[in-house]
Amino acid sequence: MLKKILFQNKVNFQFIFATLGALVGLTALCLSFQLMLDVRSFHSGEEELFGPNQIVIQKKVTKFSSLGLNSTDFTEEELNSLKQKDFITDVAPFKSVDFKVAISEVPGDGLPDFYADAFFNSIPDRFMDVETNWEWNENSEYIPIVLPRSFVMIMNYGLAQSQGFNQVSEELLMAARLNIHLKGVNKQEIKMGRVVGFSQKITSILVPESFLDYANDTYGEGNKIPPNRVFIEIKDDSYGELEDLMEEMNLDISKDAIDVVKIKTIVGVIIGIFGIAALLITLLSLMGFVQYSQLVLSKAAYETQTLLRIGYSVNSIVKTFVKQLSLIFGIITIAAIAIMLLVKIVGVNKWLDENGIHLEESSIVPTILLAIGCFALFVVANYLNVKKTVRNLGKV
Amino acid sequence: MTLELNNVLPTPLQEYPHASNSVWKNNFSIDFPKKVLLNASSGKGKSTFVNTIYGLRKDYTGFVKLDNKDISTLSLDEWVELRKNKLSVVFQDLQLFPELTVWENLILKNDLTQHQKEGRIMEMLEILGIPGKKDQVCKTLSLGQQQRVAIIRSLLQPFELLLMDEPFSHLDEENAAIALRLIVEETDKNKGGFILTSLGSHHGFQYEQELTL
């Protein structure tokens, strides 16, 4: 009965405007949030497109460096200045071996006959993009090795043809053992090695840091080798700063890595703008509802005052009001989630599919939580507003 | 319930002279249950008196106390509680819900207090001669009929003091007397009292106290 008294002029322009606004705003907000989640989980090959922004930097080789006039090494000071940059969140120089290394096949393991000079690098585990058992100690049966994927390509599609040996699959390469020739000044040894993975990101032959430290102690001359390649992790949307840094330090960065940062920056900005616009629409519609309830209450001022005069409490009136509004908000929230899913499945996903982009479905739970959060915000804001308005009416 | 007035004078009545036995600018108290008549001609402030005690008007000097509590210090929530359990009213302008039916207007109040059984409410409608109007929308009733609905509504709650502002102004003497009998019966059941304002008529009843303005 309270509802009948209070909501006599239920549907009006404000109500339709606020309802449509809330529906559009909330749908757009959920959609942009969901797309952000989907895009973050997007993988290109083995490399995460929207994972942490890890980039290998090195200095450009110029004609002066070829003549030995300037060095591509990073000095201690340069490393420190990198660490101090705001947009760089992590810095890790590549470690190198301090002695000569060569690799040859183990006869009978299926690899063609070869012997090649090589080098080893190591990087901290947190920068590895290959999931593998990356443990090594002096009792280990073999040294785990990660090769750049591009190396396998050169071998199979270039060397194999011109040198006349058989192509080697990644599986065979990982199954076969390798002889690792460690040629220090005072000590020479052959150890067993095995390829345990291929890296998309790092164009270097990688071994575990524990092995590299041990090998440098055992075979090296004790020289401290300055790094010439450094792994850095940068913040999202910092393409501009990265470009400045390249200019400043005359850096060479793989084009792929830059493209990824560029795409991330652009997509981030676009979804961000869309999200902000959706948030604004949602907040405006919230204002619309606040106005709507004020209007309804001012139209029902006599009724509200009379209810208070015959003994109805402020809370019972507020409760009737908020219950009715919550029902409307609830329908809007559920409709927004439904429309969002519909647009995503029938619209966006289909379009992406047709264009050959396969997004890994991410959970819709966070988006539903966001929608419920907006619902709660609407209910609380209107509760406070209605309570204040009813109290003001009661004072007269 | 004790009603106490200390030197109360409504702001709009400040310029007028008041008799020495007027409730205005006087100190007195009434202990209810008691049946009181406030008799005065138009414009002397009968409605002002009722609305001031009921907490709707605050434009006065002096103090009004209910059970020794200054009513100007009561919060809205305290007023609501008081109006639900101790203080009932028949407004001069009735303050019914015009869009609701007679029955809905009555049930709205009784739902809140659970004070009367539905059978008794129906009986009251019969006593006052409007049982046939039960399902009629209030705004379509005559003023006399609306007045009777407002009287019944005021009896659908427990009260220690019932304020009535010219409740019979649109009723003939016979119907007024019937209504007053019902009011007295319910007042006694509640062990409460009332203040009834009137333009001069006693409606054939012997009051325990009379006030003048």
pLDDT in tens, B77-101: 999 999 999 999 999 999 999 999 9
Please give the pLDDT value at position B104.
95
Predicted confidence at residue A65, as pLDDT, reads 67
Does the distance separating the beta carbons of B157 and A4 come in below 8 Å? no
Cβ atoms of residues B146 and B138 within 8 Å: yes
Q: Which residues contact A359 (CB under 8 A, 6 or more apart)?
A: A38, A39, A41, A42, A349, A352
A245 pLDDT above the threshold of 90: no
pLDDT at A222 over 90: no
CB contact under 8 A, A1 and B99: no
Please, which pLDDT band fits residue A68 given cuts at 50, 70 and 90?
low
Chain A's closest residue to B93, CA to CA, is A306
Q: What is the mean pLDDT of residues A284-296?
A: 86
Q: How far apart, in whole angstroms, are the C-alpha atoms of residue A76 and residue A93?
A: 10
Q: How far, in Å, CA of A148 to CA of A155, rounded?
A: 11
pLDDT, residue A43, reads 47
pLDDT (0 to 100) of residue A40: 67
Q: In degrees, to the nearest 5, what angle opens at C-alpha B151 toward C-alphas B149 and B153?
A: 70
pLDDT digits (tens, 9 = 90+) for A77-123: 888 888 888 888 888 888 888 888 999 888 888 888 888 888 888 98
Over chain A, what is the mean pLDDT?
Answer: 84
Which residues in chain B are closer than 8 Å to A5, comparing Cβ atoms? 97, 99-100, 108
Torsion angle defined by CA atoms of residues A220, A223, A229 and A233, in that order, rounded to the nearest 10 degrees = 100
Residue A12 has pLDDT above 80, yes or no: no
pLDDT recorded at residue A11: 65
Give B50→chain A minimum CA distance, Å.
13
Q: CB-based contact (8 Å) between A261 and chain B?
A: no
Q: How far is A38 from chain B (nearest CA, A)?
A: 51
Is pLDDT at A35 greater than 50 in this prediction?
Answer: yes
Is A312–B111 a contact, with Cβ atoms under 8 angstroms apart? no
Nearest to B97 among A303, A313, A391 (CB): A303
CA distance B207 to chain A (A): 26
Name the residue with tokens 């379509």.
Answer: B140
Q: Which of A269, A229, A291, A290 is nearest to A57 (CA)?
A: A229
**Regarding beta strands B35-39 and B193-198, do their DSSP bridges make them parallel or antiparallel, or are they unpaired?**
parallel
Search chain A and give the residue with CA nearest B85.
A311
| 8 Å CB contact between A330 and A12 | no
CA angle at residue A79 from A78 to A81, to 5 degrees? 65
Do B112 and A309 make contact, defined as CB atoms within 8 angstroms?
no
Q: Which of A4, A303, A313 faces B80 most closely, judged by CB atoms?
A: A313
Confidence band of A9 (pLDDT split at 50, 70, 90): low
Q: Which residues of A touch B104 (CB under 8 A)?
A: 1
pLDDT tens, B48-63? 999 999 999 999 999 9
pLDDT tens digits along B110-147? 999 999 999 999 999 999 999 999 999 999 999 999 99
Task: Using pLDDT thresholds of 50, 70 and 90, give the confidence band for residue A44.
Answer: very low
